[in-house]
């Protein structure tokens, strides 16, 4: 059977700009506006939908209900899977410890912010209800304080924002990653935020740092306070703060107990890093580390070896592990569908404007209701003097539909007033009831006048905000969890603090073997052992904390501390440097420098082409602990000699053309660039080169001054008979 060929439609060509505009941009805007960036009430849409669902379920005052029930009800507003909704709920609970001021009162296992592996239980096992502070989120929400919009299937309404009576945007830690932007708002202490808001409302130019001291985190720990960093964070909305763990030392068990860790890390990350350092031999002071977290709270136990200083060890752990970490902040807030990076003062300004609008809308709502009630009572007042006439009109009316029109004609009232009078129960058609109701007219008129006056006065509205914020602070204030330590009081760890310093001698061979030997070991046995065909090319007496710089034929320099090398004996071959320093394949050490922390002196490089360069040793000093520097010297050089000098000295150069010269290093200008080509010292004939360059003190010349040059460059001199090679050999 013959198959009919399938005809494919030709591909549709579309400009990339059109694809971005029609397909990508709607997605990007949806993520920014409807998912990742919090709004001025401090919530993302997922949080807001969840909390509003719980509010409508009556969980603000009722008993706890199963989390699964809440998740299912939330799907009416949030068309996502149950797992995503439940994870959102978990983060809002008190048991998770993710928020300073949690919004959900919880019962069950909800995991922990400070643990990566401590998983939360399934939603059918846990129970939740709204925390008392949620009353401040929904206060007067039924009085038209915020806009209500239809949900995704138009079956119910939900609020665009929650009318929070305090700046929740600054209290709740919030993090979100959108398309092309992100937001990370660190939490602040509720009491401090409320105090700052009150001060700001009284004086917009107030000093924020007097009341809003620094960020506060639910996991506690210590914040290293830097005045400039806090200023930058408050003014620009972008910056970071450093946190370090809190610990105690158990002398009895020789154990450090970490009880609070930075918000940005976890127990597992800390323990994994400590274990890795122990395995690498960089943390020899630790014998064991355990996770002892229990119902009492977080605890990481670190057992110490005998004689270890716990304070020095903690300084080391702060530097090498996440026990000290930075929390980055990026106050990106969605305002009117536009993400804006704002400082703290700008956030308070925007929140105040939002809150003023909420109160105005509430007052308008109350004012409208009061006016309607007053209007009805004024109609009731008109029948006060002739109740019997009103009864007669009702009794004398044949049709029900004519009762209201007849009352309107009989007492000169409008339809709503007549409807209100007609609906009064028969038992209430007495003078006492009507007098009590009409007695409210005076107080209603006063309330209406007060509301009208408040609506016209921004100052009075601000007083209402101040009172509400002050009440929140009084009712829900809690002490700070994150304690402050001044940056100047923090002792920075230096690796040399825990390293013993003692005299030693180092030996390097031509084949790349390196030994560090103590004087005591040399006194016992000083005869050096080398590999067959190898020889000693460098030795010096120094100390265990000295720096070692190994220059290679690949124009790299590898840096190390002598305490990185184990003490050995003269009878051992020592460490093989290419393996120890992880050099490239077939890379060899050609020159070694041992120096102190000051990197004093200069390096002289002599090229076989007759050039020489002088570079200060400090050019190889780095602020970070870098192990390898490229471009250690000019890549056009083929070294004839390299030396570390601390003061100017004479050097003698030999060429294979039979000439030689002596030059003082002061004639060679110093260059700050490591890869400098330097200057020509010795001019050479074609195909001739410098064979070696050595310090004049080791050249054993009969008359060193006979070859001295006064200016550069020079072709040098023929050797004197006493200095010819064969003569030196005879000597």
User: Which of 108-112, 237-241, 272-276, 398-402 shows the lowest per-residue confidence on average (mean pLDDT)?
Assistant: 398-402
pLDDT band of residue 3 (cuts 50, 70, 90) is low
Separation of alpha carbons 700 and 567, rounded Å: 35
Residues 6 or more apart from 285 whose CB is under 8 A from it?
A: 304, 305, 308, 313, 316, 498
pLDDT band of residue 286 (cuts 50, 70, 90) is very high
Separation of alpha carbons 336 and 13, rounded Å: 36
Rg of the chain over CA atoms, in angstroms?
42
Residues 6 or more apart from 325 whose CB is under 8 A from it?
A: 242, 243, 244, 262, 264, 265
pLDDT band of residue 724 (cuts 50, 70, 90) is low
Beta bridge partners of 177: 182
Q: Fill in the DSSP letter of residue 301.
A: E
In this prediction, residues 217-241 reach a mean pLDDT of 94
Higher pLDDT, 284 or 667: 667
Higher pLDDT, 124 or 2: 124
Tens digit of each residue's pLDDT (9 = 90 or more) over 550-578 = 999 999 999 998 888 888 888 888 899 99
In this prediction, residues 536-549 reach a mean pLDDT of 90
Separation of alpha carbons 564 and 545, rounded Å: 9
Separation of alpha carbons 322 and 55, rounded Å: 39
Identify the CATH number of the domain defined by range 43-163.
3.90.199.10
Among 27, 125, 152, 502, the active-site one is: 125
Neighbours of 603 (CB within 10 A): 23
Separation of alpha carbons 243 and 217, rounded Å: 10
Q: Are 272 and 289 in contact (CB under 8 A)?
A: no
Residue 497: the pLDDT is: 65
Tens digit of each residue's pLDDT (9 = 90 or more) over 572-621 = 888 999 998 989 998 999 999 999 888 999 999 999 999 999 999 999 98
Cis peptide before 713 (omega within 30 of 0): yes
Residue 7: the pLDDT is: 62
Tens digit of each residue's pLDDT (9 = 90 or more) over 350-405 = 999 999 999 999 999 999 999 998 988 888 777 776 777 888 888 888 888 888 88
Per-residue CA distances from 344 to 136, 287, 288, 329 (Å): 21, 46, 44, 12
Q: Phi/psi at 412 (nearest 5 deg)? A: 55, 55
In this prediction, residues 195-219 reach a mean pLDDT of 95
User: Which of 121-130, 257-266, 392-401 shows the lowest per-residue confidence on average (mean pLDDT)?
Assistant: 392-401
Q: Of 240, 231, 215, which Cα lies nearest the Cα of 343?
A: 231
Asked if pLDDT for residue 173 goes beyond 60, the answer is: yes
Separation of alpha carbons 340 and 719, rounded Å: 79
Residue 8: the pLDDT is: 64
Q: Which tokens in the block code for residue 177?
A: 């990653």
pLDDT band of residue 5 (cuts 50, 70, 90) is low
Does residue 152 carry a catalytic annotation?
A: no
pLDDT band of residue 729 (cuts 50, 70, 90) is very low
Separation of alpha carbons 358 and 168, rounded Å: 15
Residue ranges in 384-479 assigned as alpha helix (H): 387-396, 403-411, 415-422, 431-438, 440-456, 458-476
Residues 6 or more apart from 565 whose CB is under 8 A from it?
A: 514, 516, 575, 580
- Helix %, strand %, coil % for the chain, to 5? 40, 25, 40
Which CATH architecture best describes the domain 349-475?
Orthogonal Bundle (1.10)
In this prediction, residues 542-556 reach a mean pLDDT of 91
Identify the CATH number of the domain defined by range 246-322.
3.30.1360.40
Four-point Cα dihedral 315, 318, 319, 322, nearest 10 = 170
> First CA to last CA across the chain, in angstroms?
106
Q: CA angle, 307 as apex, 304 and 308 as ends, to 5°?
A: 50
Residues 6 or more apart from 81 whose CB is under 8 A from it?
A: none
Helix (H), strand (E) at residue 351: helix 344-382
Residue 410: the pLDDT is: 83
Separation of alpha carbons 331 and 68, rounded Å: 33
Listed by start position, the domains of the chain span 43-163, 246-322, 349-475, 496-730
- Show the beta-strand stretches assigned E in 209-309: 222-225, 238-244, 246-250, 255-260, 286-291, 300-304
Q: Which tokens in the block code for residue 721?
A: 């008979």
Residue 420: the pLDDT is: 84
- % of the chain with per-residue pLDDT over 70: 96
Residues 6 or more apart from 395 whose CB is under 8 A from it?
A: none
pLDDT band of residue 725 (cuts 50, 70, 90) is low
Separation of alpha carbons 602 and 623, rounded Å: 19
Tens digit of each residue's pLDDT (9 = 90 or more) over 82-98 = 999 999 999 999 999 99
Q: Of 561, 468, 469, 454, which Cα lies nearest the Cα of 514?
A: 561
Asked if pLDDT for residue 128 goes beyond 90, the answer is: yes
Four-point Cα dihedral 80, 84, 87, 88, nearest 10 = -40
Q: Fill in the DSSP letter of residue 110.
A: B
Tens digit of each residue's pLDDT (9 = 90 or more) over 21-62 = 777 788 777 787 778 899 999 999 999 999 999 999 999 998
Separation of alpha carbons 612 and 713, rounded Å: 11
Give the SS3 label for residue 217: coil
- Show the beta-strand stretches assigned E in 82-221: 104-107, 127-130, 148-150, 157-159, 174-177, 182-185
User: Which of 62-66, 313-317, 494-498 shows the lowest per-residue confidence on average (mean pLDDT)?
Assistant: 494-498
**CATH superfamily to which 496-730 belongs:** DNA gyrase/topoisomerase IV, subunit A, C-terminal (2.120.10.90)
Residue 9: the pLDDT is: 64
DSSP notation for 504-537: EEEEEETTSEEEEE-HHHHHH-------TT--EE
Asked if pLDDT for residue 524 goes beyond 70, the answer is: yes
Residue 727: the pLDDT is: 42
pLDDT band of residue 441 (cuts 50, 70, 90) is confident
Separation of alpha carbons 370 and 367, rounded Å: 5
483-486/222-225 β-pairing: parallel
Q: Of 115, 103, 330, which Cα lies nearest the Cα of 219?
A: 115
Q: Fill in the DSSP letter of residue 401.
A: G
pLDDT band of residue 189 (cuts 50, 70, 90) is very high
* Average pLDDT value over all residues in the chain: 89
Separation of alpha carbons 173 and 43, rounded Å: 10
Q: Are 42 and 164 in contact (CB under 8 A)?
A: yes
Asked if pLDDT for residue 728 goes beyond 60, the answer is: no
Q: Which tokens in the block code for residue 591?
A: 């020159």
In this prediction, residues 304-318 reach a mean pLDDT of 89
pLDDT band of residue 266 (cuts 50, 70, 90) is very high
Q: Which residues of 108-123 are buried (b: 16+ CB within 10 A; e: fewer)?
A: bbbbbbbbeebebeeb
Separation of alpha carbons 133 and 473, rounded Å: 11
Beta bridge partners of 643: 604
Residue 730: the pLDDT is: 37
């Amino acid at each position: 059977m013959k198959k009919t060929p399938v005809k494919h439609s030709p591909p549709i060509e579309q400009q990339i700009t059109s694809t971005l505009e029609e397909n990508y941009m709607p997605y990007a805007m949806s993520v920014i506006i409807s998912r990742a960036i919090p709004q001025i009430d401090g919530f993302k849409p997922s949080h807001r939908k969840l909390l509003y669902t719980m509010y409508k379920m009556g969980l603000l005052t009722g008993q706890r209900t199963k989390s699964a029930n809440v998740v299912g009800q939330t799907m009416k507003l949030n068309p996502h899977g149950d797992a995503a909704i439940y994870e959102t709920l978990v983060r809002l609970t008190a048991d998770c410890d993710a928020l300073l001021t949690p919004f959900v009162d919880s019962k069950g296992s909800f995991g922990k912010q400070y643990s990566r592996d401590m998983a939360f239980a399934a939603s059918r096992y846990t129970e939740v209800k709204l925390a008392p502070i949620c009353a401040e989120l929904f206060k007067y929400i039924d009085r038209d304080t915020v806009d209500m919009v239809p949900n995704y299937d138009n079956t119910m309404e939900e609020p665009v924002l929650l009318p929070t009576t305090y700046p929740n945007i600054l209290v709740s830690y919030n993090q979100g990653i959108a398309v092309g932007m992100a937001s990370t708002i660190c939490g602040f202490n509720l009491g401090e935020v409320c105090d700052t808001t009150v001060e700001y409302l009284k004086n917009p130019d107030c000093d924020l740092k007097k009341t809003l001291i620094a960020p506060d985190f639910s996991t506690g720990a210590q914040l290293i306070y830097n005045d400039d960093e806090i200023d930058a964070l408050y003014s620009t909305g972008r910056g970071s703060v450093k946190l370090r763990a809190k610990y105690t030392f158990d002398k009895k068990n020789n154990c450090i107990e970490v009880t609070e860790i930075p918000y940005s890390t976890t127990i597992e990350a800390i323990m994994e890093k400590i274990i890795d350092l122990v395995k690498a031999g960089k943390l020899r002071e630790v014998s064991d580390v355990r996770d002892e977290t229990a119902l009492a709270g977080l605890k990481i136990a670190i057992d110490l070896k005998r004689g270890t200083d716990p304070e020095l060890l903690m300084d080391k752990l702060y530097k090498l592990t996440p026990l000290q970490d930075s929390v980055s902040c990026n106050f990106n807030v969605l305002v009117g569908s536009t993400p804006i990076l704002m400082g703290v003062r700008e956030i308070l300004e925007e929140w105040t404007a939002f809150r003023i609008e909420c109160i105005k809308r509430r007052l308008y709502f109350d004012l409208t209701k009061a006016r309607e009630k007053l209007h009805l009572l004024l109609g009731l007042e008109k029948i006060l003097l002739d109740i019997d006439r009103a009864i007669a009109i009702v009794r004398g009316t044949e049709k029900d539909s004519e009762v209201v029109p007849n009352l309107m004609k009989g007492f000169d009232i409008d339809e709503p007033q007549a409807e209100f009078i007609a609906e009064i129960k028969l038992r209430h058609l007495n003078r006492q009831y009507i007098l009590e109701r009409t007695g409210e007219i005076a107080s209603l008129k006063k309330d209406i006048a007060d509301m009208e006056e408040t609506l016209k006065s921004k100052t009075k509205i601000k007083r209402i905000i101040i009172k509400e914020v002050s009440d929140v602070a009084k009712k829900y204030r809690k002490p700070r969890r994150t304690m402050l330590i001044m940056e100047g009081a923090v002792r920075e760890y230096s690796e040399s603090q825990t390293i013993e310093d003692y005299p030693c001698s180092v030996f390097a061979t031509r084949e790349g073997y390196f030994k560090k030997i103590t004087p005591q070991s040399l006194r016992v046995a000083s005869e050096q052992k080398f590999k067959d065909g190898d020889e000693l090319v460098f030795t010096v007496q120094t100390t265990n904390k000295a720096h070692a710089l190994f220059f290679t034929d690949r124009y790299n320099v590898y840096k190390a501390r002598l305490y990185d090398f184990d003490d050995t004996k003269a009878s051992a071959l020592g460490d093989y440097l290419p393996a120890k320093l992880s050099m490239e394949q077939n890379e060899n050490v050609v020159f070694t420098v041992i120096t102190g922390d000051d990197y004093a002196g200069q390096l002289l490089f002599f090229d076989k082409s007759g050039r020489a360069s002088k570079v200060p040793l400090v050019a190889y000093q780095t602020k970070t602990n870098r192990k390898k520097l490229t471009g250690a010297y000019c890549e056009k050089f083929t070294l004839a000699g390299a030396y570390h000098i601390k003061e100017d000295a004479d050097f003698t150069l030999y060429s294979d053309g039979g000439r030689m010269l002596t030059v003082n290093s002061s004639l060679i200008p110093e260059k700050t660039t490591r890869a400098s080509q330097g200057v020509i010292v010795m001019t050479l004939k074609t195909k001739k080169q410098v064979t070696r360059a050595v310090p004049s003190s080791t050249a054993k010349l009969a008359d060193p001054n006979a070859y001295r040059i006064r200016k550069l460059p020079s072709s040098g001199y023929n050797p004197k008979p006493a200095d010819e090679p064969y003569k030196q050999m005879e000597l």
